[in-house]
Amino acid sequence: MTLLSLVAALAGDRGFCSDSTVPGPSRDLYCIPLVAAPGIRGISAVVELRQSPTPFGVAVTAEGIQVHNLVLEARGLPDPRSLGAYSAYVAWAMPPGLDPVIRLGEVREGRVRLGSVALDKFLLLVTAERSAAPRSRGGRIVLRGLSPSTRLDGHGPLALPSGTAGPSRHLQAGHGNHRLAMPGGWPMPPMIAGISMAQSLAGLAPGATPWLPAADSTAPPARPSDVLRLGDGDTLRLEAAPGRRVIGGRQEMGYLFNGQAPGPILDVLRGSNLVVEFVNRTEWPAAIHWHGLRLDASSDGVPGLTQQAVPPGGRFLYRLRFPDAGIYWYHPHHREDVLQDLGLYGTIVVRAATGTPGAGGNPVHRELPLVLDDVLAGEEGLFPYGRETPTHALMGRLGTHLLLNGVERRRLEGRPAEVLRLLLINAASARVFNMALAGPDGDLPLKLVGADAGPYARERWAASAVVAPSERYTVEVRLPASGTVTLVNRVRAIDHTAGTFLQRVDTLGYIVVRGTRAPPLGADYERLRARPHLQRELGALQREHLQRPPDRELLLTLTVDSLPFRLVQLLRLDTAYAHPVEWAPTMPMMDWLPTAGQAHWRLREPATGRENHAIRWRFDRGARVKLRLRNDRHTLHPMAHPIHLHGQRFLVLARNGVAVEDLAWKDTALVPAGGMVDLLLDLSNPGRWMLHCHNAEHLSAGMHTALSVD
């Protein structure tokens, strides 16, 4: 065991489920109290649902099923022989249908690790058995408990089945019907097939005016992204203007950078400088944020904090510098829910001296930036936005059409045995992707080599990549000898009306493998590289700061105002259980109705009670600040939050009190519903910097603050 893994193991042995003084996540979501069977007395037991080790914000299988590592703590267990002809206690897990039955392991007095479980809902049993490793369960039940997800309950009487009134009877996945007019000129929100609409919300609409960009047949169709290899001191003109994209087979108006969707790929060397002249040809005030770059604050692109928004027809000069190799991106920082969603975003690749974007110099045949996005549209086209204020302010605007580099089901090509470096960027407003590559003979293993702002201290294999809004990951993959590789997003959505989990599989694109075999790379692709200098640096930081109390703490929470009574009642029904991530838009009416004027997302400092921009944090340059983020589970709609810090970088130290094993510099961290994340901020860049949720609707609904580095 390495010193780092030893630290991780020790940090994880503190039982927050059995000791309320130990900091941890929401106990009702991450703990299972076990109840003694009739006739069994004097036993107390609880199971802690730890997140399985993962480099991502949540641990799921390639199919999207949440994975828990189980730790059982029992006190007062009698000698099993006192219950009959038994010699040991054994723990079991099984779905509600009781098949299959999974043997977890032997249970003893005190704390014991039971391994992992990947089930949507499950029952836990502890039985007295004749041996510690029986082939099947047959002994006496001693303890029993249910996973928190079993608290999901259907809302059948409140539902309008799809195909009756409102949505079209012939909906296909990803489509909806706009023909049924709602109050205020709104159409009916699109919905995915097989999900019911809430009947009790009929006749309601958001308190905002529906808006879409005006049709313009002269607007140019979007072109693929150009790769601009820029040198030190170069100047770039970047123009945001109307253009057309194809969504759902229809020409839809949007906005483009230099006529491209996504915008141009800026390919630069670490240490270089660039001047960007931004020209705003849209009808909205705008600015460009250079996401993840540790640049000068005056060019960070945040209206009201670092600059005034650029009016329609105006321009602004940004001076960029690139001190860190890695993958970054650029996007608006004013009404992102509209401007970014309509296509204004682009990729930045900052290369180290080796020529790779902070991935440590692994040999590959080719590099592909892949920007993940989604768009909300129905049978009659793009679904409107709120003009005065965003809609979808509780959950965020999850789309029905998934895009890869601006196109649905994008077709790419590759050669047999070709090794690709994929630069993954999530530009969606609210969607968390679980992306896998399905080959002719099964999923292709992904080699995870880099995160937001640089490489991992040690590479690892992953079955899929969980990418939250604004996160970036570098993965490498070797293509098969022939056939088609499908880029898929596999998640487990919740049908709140039925109280069940649904498998959702959406195709992002294809890689058609053909032609001559790629030449050998001259290196062992199967070998996972370690970076000793980074292991020493990041490992030392984690060991130094992991166990100490946080310097600052924020509670991620919500207040609401003037929501329709019927909507509030439905939302309350869903508070019995909160999934760590809302993966799909299964509550279209409930998600759409709240505006940013009614849902107020908060960053609250428990020590002072201050919220959002009333928080006044000031630090010295070079400070290392431990920040604890707690996601309030007890709100009207608990949600995961991708928290982003401008102009700096941080290390994710621990999730739910357990040390993180995969270390890399990042600038965005996903905090699941009810979860807790400890970050170590490396505050080396002077200026005033925004800290906020990167769910576009949550940001517009107030979930942001700023800190000063002197």
Can you give the CATH number for the domain in which 99 is found? 2.60.40
Q: Could you tell me the pLDDT band of residue 574, with boundaries at 50, 70 and 90?
A: confident
Specify the pLDDT at position 240. 98
Specify the pLDDT at position 70. 96
Q: With a cut of 50, say whether residue 220 has pLDDT above it.
A: yes
Residue 617 lies in a domain: yes
Residues of the chain with pLDDT > 90: what percent?
81
Pairing type for strands 665-666 and 623-631 reads unpaired
Specify the pLDDT at position 160. 42
Residues 398-422: what's their mean pLDDT?
A: 96
Residue 588 makes CB contacts below 8 A (sequence gap 6+) with 176, 189, 190, 191, 195, 197
Residue range(s) defining the domain that contains residue 82: 16-151
Specify the pLDDT at position 171. 30
Residue 250 lies in a domain: no
Residues 425-443: what's their mean pLDDT?
A: 97
Residue 157 lies in a domain: no
Residues 236-258: what's their mean pLDDT?
A: 96
Residue 490 makes CB contacts below 8 A (sequence gap 6+) with 62, 63, 64, 434, 436, 464, 503, 504, 505
pLDDT digits (tens, 9 = 90+) for 689-698: 999 999 999 9
Specify the pLDDT at position 243. 97
User: How far is Cα 164 from Cα 186, in angstroms, rounded to an integer?
Assistant: 20
**Three-state DSSP class for 356?**
coil
Residue 586 lies in a domain: yes
Q: Could you tell me the pLDDT band of residue 423, with boundaries at 50, 70 and 90?
A: very high
- pLDDT, averaged across the chain: 91
Give the domain-ending residue among 151, 176, 207: 151
- The answer to whether the beta carbons of residues 490 and 434 sit under 8 Å apart is yes
Specify the pLDDT at position 196. 66
Q: With a cut of 80, say whether residue 356 has pLDDT above it.
A: no
Pairing type for strands 483-495 and 472-478 reads unpaired
Q: Report CA torsion sign: 164, 165, 169, 172.
A: negative
pLDDT digits (tens, 9 = 90+) for 631-672: 999 999 999 999 999 999 999 999 999 999 999 999 999 999
Rounded to two decimals, the pTM is 0.93
- Which of 40-49, 156-165, 213-222 shows the lowest per-residue confidence on average (mean pLDDT)? 156-165
Specify the pLDDT at position 111. 94
pLDDT digits (tens, 9 = 90+) for 123-167: 999 999 999 999 899 899 999 999 999 998 765 545 444 433 333
User: How far is Cα 650 from Cα 159, in angstroms, rounded to an integer?
Assistant: 44
Helix (H) or strand (E) run with residue 458 in it: strand 454-462
Joined tokens for residue 278: 């931004």
Q: With a cut of 80, say whether residue 272 has pLDDT above it.
A: yes
Report the CATH number at residue 684: 2.60.40.420
Q: Could you tell me the pLDDT band of residue 197, with boundaries at 50, 70 and 90?
A: low
Q: With a cut of 80, say whether residue 678 has pLDDT above it.
A: yes
- The answer to whether the beta carbons of residues 64 and 490 sit under 8 Å apart is yes
Q: With a cut of 90, say whether residue 14 has pLDDT above it.
A: no
Specify the pLDDT at position 191. 81
User: How far is Cα 380 from Cα 672, in angstroms, rounded to an integer?
Assistant: 34
Angle 3-11/532-545 helices, nearest 10 degrees?
A: 30
Specify the pLDDT at position 595. 96
**Residues β-bridged to residue 426:** 372
Q: Could you tell me the pLDDT band of residue 362, with boundaries at 50, 70 and 90?
A: confident
Joined tokens for residue 348: 């930045």
Q: With a cut of 80, say whether residue 222 has pLDDT above it.
A: yes
Joined tokens for residue 593: 């109705």
pLDDT digits (tens, 9 = 90+) for 181-196: 577 789 988 887 777 6
Q: With a cut of 50, say whether residue 2 has pLDDT above it.
A: no
Specify the pLDDT at position 705. 97
Residue 415 lies in a domain: no
Q: With a cut of 50, say whether residue 4 has pLDDT above it.
A: no
Whether the upstream peptide bond of residue 262 has omega within 30° of 0, thus cis, is yes
Q: With a cut of 70, say whether residue 18 has pLDDT above it.
A: yes
Residues 319-324: what's their mean pLDDT?
A: 96
Q: Which CA distances in Å does 260 have to 488, 508, 512?
A: 24, 19, 24
pLDDT digits (tens, 9 = 90+) for 535-545: 999 999 999 99
Q: Which CA distances in Å does 641 have to 402, 501, 703?
A: 20, 21, 10
Give the domain-ending residue among 128, 151, 174: 151
Residue 100 lies in a domain: yes
- DSSP secondary structure code for residue 407 in this structure: B
User: By C-alpha distance, which of 374, 377, 379, 433 is closest to 398?
Assistant: 374
- Which of 202-206, 245-249, 290-294, 441-445 shows the lowest per-residue confidence on average (mean pLDDT)? 202-206
Residue 318 lies in a domain: no
User: How far is Cα 125 from Cα 530, in angstroms, rounded to an integer?
Assistant: 41
Specify the pLDDT at position 200. 73
> Other CB atoms closer than 10 Å to residue 220's CB: what's the count?
13
Q: Could you tell me the pLDDT band of residue 13, with boundaries at 50, 70 and 90?
A: low
User: How far is Cα 100 from Cα 154, in angstroms, rounded to an integer?
Assistant: 24
Residue 470 lies in a domain: no
Q: How many CA atoms lie within 13 A of 229 on its CB side?
A: 2
Pairing type for strands 704-709 and 88-94 reads unpaired
The full 3-state SS of 22-70, as one line of letters, equals CCCCCHHHHEEEEEECCCCCCCEEEEEEEECCCCCCCCECCCCCECEEE
**Three-state DSSP class for 3?**
helix
**Three-state DSSP class for 338?**
helix
**Domains identified in the chain, total number:** 2
Q: Could you tell me the pLDDT band of residue 54, with boundaries at 50, 70 and 90?
A: very high
User: How far is Cα 472 from Cα 426, in angstroms, rounded to an integer?
Assistant: 7
User: By C-alpha distance, which of 580, 508, 503 is closest to 193?
Assistant: 503
Residues 298-318: what's their mean pLDDT?
A: 97
Q: Could you tell me the pLDDT band of residue 198, with boundaries at 50, 70 and 90?
A: low
Residues 403-425: what's their mean pLDDT?
A: 96
Give the domain-ending residue among 151, 171, 187: 151
- The answer to whether the beta carbons of residues 383 and 377 sit under 8 Å apart is yes
Specify the pLDDT at position 360. 65
